[in-house]
Amino acid sequence: MTTATGSRPRIALIGDHGKSPAHARLDSFRGELDVDTEWVPSENVTGPESLEGFDGIWVVPGSPYENKDGVLSAVRHARENGIPYLGTCGGFQHALIEYARTVVGLTDADDVQYDPEAPTPLIVPLSCCLAGEQSPLLLTAGSRLAAVYDDAELTTETYHCKYGLNSEFVDRLTDAGVLFSGWDTEGAPRAAEVPGHPFFIGTLFQPELVSGPGNIHPLIKAFAAEVAAHAAVTV
């Protein structure tokens, strides 16, 4: 079920409110988006039925989440049903975990924050902590993410994270259909998308941190626009 006729498109902000500095930033500008947004605690996501009535899903920073399985369920629901998805920081990490488990077949892929002894440690500590850091981002030509930046090749983004993708799994995910569309200058993946999906982008950087009233990051604007377009054709 999608937005009822005459109402505004709706985005579910999935996460545990207050766990990340990005949440306050998001609250400062979300009222300016041309869509409605609603916080959905991860503990409240028990399956696709928990997300009925939403036209877009945004898994916000704040990993590890109170309900990892609920977050992964939301990611899968968006990916398999063509629902616009944005995952920032933890939302990037969990999008890769869901894809690795469901599509690649790495059923025990995990984030070591949940299980330090994970048999398949997909998300691991970064070689260099990016908490509060700005870093260059190389964009993959022809990607949906590059289009957000008017097909630029290089930009700078802001991070607040300590964990990222284990480089040992980049090729496995790529071979299974993931397009890594953003990289740091040393070749580590910082953004990913699913080609063929209307809008499925995850970023390790946090566009919320550089957004505010009257100054919303272009990736967030692009996501909101896609949510509105999706709602218009699925009512």
CATH number, domain containing residue 101: 3.40.50.880
Q: Is the pLDDT of residue 172 over 90?
A: yes
**pLDDT (mean) for 112-137:** 95
Residue type, 102: T
- The domain tally of the chain equals 1
Q: Does residue 2 sit within a domain?
A: no
Q: Which of 12-21, 70-79, 105-114, 180-189 has the lowest mean pLDDT?
A: 12-21
Residue 194: per-residue pLDDT? 99
Q: Does residue 1 sit within a domain?
A: no
CA distance 180 to 169: 12
Q: Does residue 80 sit within a domain?
A: yes
- Name the average pLDDT for the chain: 95
**pLDDT (mean) for 108-118:** 98
% of the chain exceeding 70 in pLDDT: 97
Phi, psi of 146 (to 5 degrees): -60, -35
Q: Does residue 35 sit within a domain?
A: yes
Quickly state the pLDDT bin for 180 (edges 50, 70, 90).
very high
CA distance 56 to 3: 10
CA distance 60 to 48: 18
Sheet strand arrangement including 163-165: 109-111, 120-125, 163-165
Residue 18: per-residue pLDDT? 84
Strands 154-158 and 134-139: antiparallel
Phi and psi based region of residue 56 (left: phi greater than 0; alpha: psi -120 to 50; beta: remaining): beta
Q: Is the pLDDT of residue 3 over 80?
A: no
Q: Does residue 210 sit within a domain?
A: yes
CA distance 104 to 36: 34
Q: Does residue 226 sit within a domain?
A: yes
Residue 6: per-residue pLDDT? 55
Q: Is the pLDDT of residue 167 over 50?
A: yes
Residue 19: per-residue pLDDT? 86
Q: Which residue has the higher pLDDT, 178 or 20?
A: 178
pLDDT tens, position by position, 54-108? 999 999 999 999 999 999 999 999 999 999 999 999 999 999 999 999 999 999 9
CA distance 166 to 69: 20
Q: Which residue has the higher pLDDT, 229 or 7?
A: 229
Q: Is the pLDDT of residue 5 over 50?
A: no
Domain of 201 in residue numbering reads as: 10-234
Q: Does residue 198 sit within a domain?
A: yes
Q: Is the pLDDT of residue 235 over 70?
A: no
Q: Is 157 helix (H, G, I), strand (E, B) or coil?
A: strand
Q: Which residue has the tokens 């071979």?
A: 175
